Amino acid sequence: MEIYSWYKVSDNSVVKNLDFSSFKYKGSVIPKELYNYFEIPNTKEKLTINLNLKKKKFESQITWTRPKSPVRRIFWGNDFSDFLKEHFSGWINLKPKTKETDFNLSFKKIDENDYDISVFYSKKELVKKELNSESTRYFIFDSRRVEGDIDFVQYTWDEKKYSRVRVGDRFIYKCPIRHSKSNQFYFYGSGQIGKISNFKKGMVKCVIENSIRFENLIYQNDLKEYEWFFKKKKQKNFEHFFNQYGMTEILYEDFQSLRSMGFDSEYNEKENKELVESHKNYYNKDFSSEDKFSIQKTRGPDQKIFSDEVKDIYSNRCCIIGLKSKFLLEGSHIVQWSEDKTIRKDPQNGLCLSLIIHKCFDKGFIIIDDNYRIVVSKKNEDKILLNYLMSFNGKKIHLPRSKKDYPNKKFLKRHREKFKE
């Protein structure tokens, strides 16, 4: 139910769309329809509440806007205001009369005066559609990659084993450990349930609509500190946490939190469509790629899909130096992008490298022999860089867990021949 800039999701959950005044004045007017939700008394006393974000507590006040005014307002402190401004850095571009934004704050009542909160990006129209339909359910679907399951196209399941899904429901895609090359599950996109029909004996299929491919893959290690809304996580690992059949019902807050984690920047519909198509082509084993044209040639979404897959194959670790900081890693080509269109997305034409090692590999300062050992070129005139690289000379690269994912020796040979001394 929409109430001005607020949405009532359920009896214990509401969402506030953060407008200019939310950032400027560090709070928001609370509509009368939500007084019961926040347990606001009829007296003029201030009400202190706790906003819990992961392991942090932010104390806030609910009070009258002015002594003679009947309007109640929530004021959050400087710490929480600073957090919101840092998380939603785009707020600085809002104009004073801006009433609708992509910035959202979710409240879930835990106890009297105690609320778990989460923040997420989402277009207001999308939030309206999702929240104004109180019957919408939210799920995590495992990608099974079996007959009938095609990412962002179609999903199948046995209705006798799971019968909660209906047309219009929304879900997050999860790649389970058995399909992940890194031995970690990860979330990689979302969709909406379209038409449901019979598939084969005992099975049904649905059309996937409103597909979104995440900009960031969300690995299980990224969720160590995440506080789930749909159930409490009782142990450190995820054993028995999700439904064993691979379809887990979650709450809207988890759905939006995961979708928000999937993006570093604001959602772009055109770019997302291209990314979804590239993802579908990749998993149909189409490893070729044409240049995309804007003002200049670009690699487009194909490079993103290729890079994500290569990093997963190498367990998000630089295969030369072992660095594991994901923001410093890239899925790099052995035979460069411009040299062969047919293998641009072939994961065996890829290595997971740190940014500086990627540059060194492309310059021929590092090559890899047929035994997967590192050979450092002496042509490098930068002595500091040469000394650093020499510490890895002769060592074997960190190889993928599966031999079928090892870099193709033919591609390594082509790279070596390009830089023959």
Q: Clarify whether residues 140 and 242 are in a common domain.
A: yes
Q: Clarify whether residues 148 and 222 are in a common domain.
A: yes
CA dist., res. 62 & res. 82, Å (int): 19
Q: Clarify whether residues 341 and 211 are in a common domain.
A: no
* Residue 130 forms part of a structural domain: no
Q: Is 192 helix (H, G, I), strand (E, B) or coil?
A: strand
Q: Clarify whether residues 98 and 150 are in a common domain.
A: no
What CATH code is carried by the domain that includes residue 105? 2.40.330.10
Q: What's the sign of the alpha-carbon dihedral 104, 155, 174, 407?
A: negative
Q: How far is residue 238 from each of residues 57, 215, 220, 250, 271, measured CA to CA in Å?
A: 25, 24, 8, 15, 33
- Cβ-count burial of 374 within 10 angstroms (0-12 exposed, 13-18 middle, 19+ buried)? buried
Determine the distance from the C-alpha atom of residue 35 to the mean position of all C-alpha atoms in its chain, rounded to a whole number: 34
Do 155 and 206 contact (CB within 8 A), yes or no?
yes
CA dist., res. 393 & res. 241, Å (int): 44
Q: Clarify whether residues 39 and 94 are in a common domain.
A: yes
Number of domains in the chain: 3
CA dist., res. 13 & res. 107, Å (int): 6
Q: Clarify whether residues 236 and 284 are in a common domain.
A: no
- pLDDT tens, position by position, for the chain (421 residues)? 788 889 887 788 888 989 898 999 899 999 889 999 998 887 777 899 999 887 788 999 998 766 666 788 899 989 999 989 888 888 888 888 777 888 888 888 888 889 988 887 776 556 655 555 567 899 999 998 777 889 999 999 998 899 999 999 999 999 999 999 999 999 999 999 999 999 988 899 999 999 999 989 999 999 987 888 888 888 888 988 999 899 999 988 788 888 878 876 666 778 889 999 999 888 766 545 455 433 334 457 888 999 999 999 999 999 999 999 999 999 999 998 888 888 888 999 999 999 999 999 999 999 999 999 999 998 888 999 999 999 999 999 999 999 999 999 999 999 999 987 5
Tell me what pLDDT residue 1 has: 76
Report the b/e string of 281-310 with b at 16+ CB within 10 A: bbeeeebebeeeeeeeeebbbbbbbbbbbb
Q: Clarify whether residues 232 and 308 are in a common domain.
A: no
**Tokens found for residue 410:** 């033919």
**Tokens found for residue 243:** 């439904």
Print the domain residue range for 344. Answer: 269-418
* Residue 186 forms part of a structural domain: yes
What CATH code is carried by the domain that includes residue 240? 3.10.590.10
Among 120, 148, 180, the domain-final residue is: 120
